[in-house]
Amino acid sequence: MPNVHSKSGIILFAIFFVVIILLLLRLLWVFLGAIVLALLTVNLTYPIYSRLEKLFRNKKSVAAYLMTSFVLLCIIVPVFFIILTISKETAYLYTKTKDVVSQDELSYLMNNDSLTGKFLNKLSELLGQDITPEYITQVTNNAIKSTIVYLYKEFNTILSNVARFILSFLVMIATIFTMYKRGDELKEYLLQVIPLPKHNIEIIVTKFNEIGRSILFINGLSGVIQGTLLAVSFLIVGLGAPVLWGAIAGFFAFMPIIGITLVYIPATAFLILKGKMLSAIFMFGFNIIHSSLVEYILKPRLIGKDIKMSGLLVFVGIIGGMQIFGVLGILYGPLIIALFISFAELYRLEYRRLFENGFRDHISD
């Protein structure tokens, strides 16, 4: 005899189910960042895991262990040391921000016939602002100190809570291993639980993977390339904290149009103020060349013609994500944008016609 459920029973079950889901999300919220990073890592490296699994004759535990170890050694450990290096460089710069550009140096530059002096005097005339050595020193030092203080506080906050950091790290590793080993089972289970047709879910997942790869992997790769090369330019010209400024440039590389210009143009101006014109020319020329090659040649070829993502949407996603979620908004913002585009694509392909027809042909009484 088939089970018969009353309307009130179904409503009660739905209420309890929603409450339990909300409680589960509340439990996982503390480690949401670690779980999201783990899922993204698995998604990007799963093709490698699949080949490794075939190599070991479908021994999932062995393949999952080796792949997790690979991710740990090749991705997570280097990132951890980079964060520590950035923290040290930030602390160092924080103690060195006083009189980064000295007034004596500026007075000498502005009162002789050097290119830097002529440039500063011409700039003062064009802006209608009396650009004195005292004014430049105050503006420069305040801007640098404000940036360094913000970065120092952010990294200090992250690293100070050691216990939570270690727990998040362990959760991320455990999630990566589990998803490698049992990801297919979990996917099949979710396909049965989620109240959408299987082909609808596949459309969402396929589109999300395409856009996620475009936003996170390709933009992330271009950010790493540009940030690394900018750090090299800082080393060549002798500017301090190259890893820190390279990391900042890598973040700005996600932003369309402006990109890493927010780092190398101020650095170029700083070198001009210090009277190092050749270094300034190198800083500007080297960075504008490699950033242009990455943004306008390498990235479009990697993304391809079939995956189109508005730079404005990426920019808004990153800025809005950071406003809501903090630093992790760099990931969450674009992911939310990717989810929106995935569901919009599903609506275009499947549900638009249903809405236009008022569901008359597809919903029974």
Decide if 341 contacts 211 (C-beta within 8 A): yes
The pLDDT score that the predictor gives to residue 365 is: 43
Question: Contact, 77 vs 172, CB < 8 A?
Answer: no
Q: Are 291 and 225 in contact (CB under 8 A)?
A: no
Closest to 251 (Cα-Cα) out of 231, 234, 267: 231
Rounded CA Rg of the chain: 26
How many Cβ atoms from other residues are within 10 Å of residue 173's Cβ? Answer: 17
pLDDT for the residue 281: 92
Give the rounded distance of the alpha carbon of 171 from its chain centre.
Answer: 20
Residue 90 and residue 151 in contact, taking contact as beta carbons nearer than 8 Å? yes
- Which 8-state DSSP code applies to residue 298? I
The pLDDT value recorded for residue 1 is 45
Distance (Å, whole) CA 116 – CA 133: 13
Please, are residues 233 and 287 in contact by the beta-carbon 8 Å criterion? yes
- What burial letters (b/e) apply to 225-251, b meaning 16+ CB within 10 Å? bbbbbbbebbeebebebbbbbbbbbbb
Q: Report the alpha-carbon distance of residue 314 to residue 222 in Å, rounded.
A: 14
Q: How far is CA 360 from the centre of its chain?
A: 44
Task: With beta carbons less than 8 A apart as the criterion, state whether 341 and 310 touch.
Answer: no
Q: What is the pLDDT along the chain (365 residues), one digit of tens a residue?
A: 455 567 777 888 888 888 998 898 888 888 887 888 888 788 878 888 989 888 888 888 888 999 999 888 877 777 777 777 776 666 666 665 555 555 555 555 555 555 556 666 666 666 656 656 566 666 666 666 666 666 666 566 655 566 677 788 888 899 999 999 888 888 788 778 877 777 777 777 777 777 666 666 777 788 889 999 999 999 999 887 788 888 888 878 877 677 888 889 988 988 887 778 899 999 999 999 999 998 888 877 776 554 555 556 777 777 788 788 776 777 778 778 878 877 887 888 777 777 766 655 555 44
Which helix (H) or strand (E) covers residue 2, if one does? none
Per-residue pLDDT at 271: 86
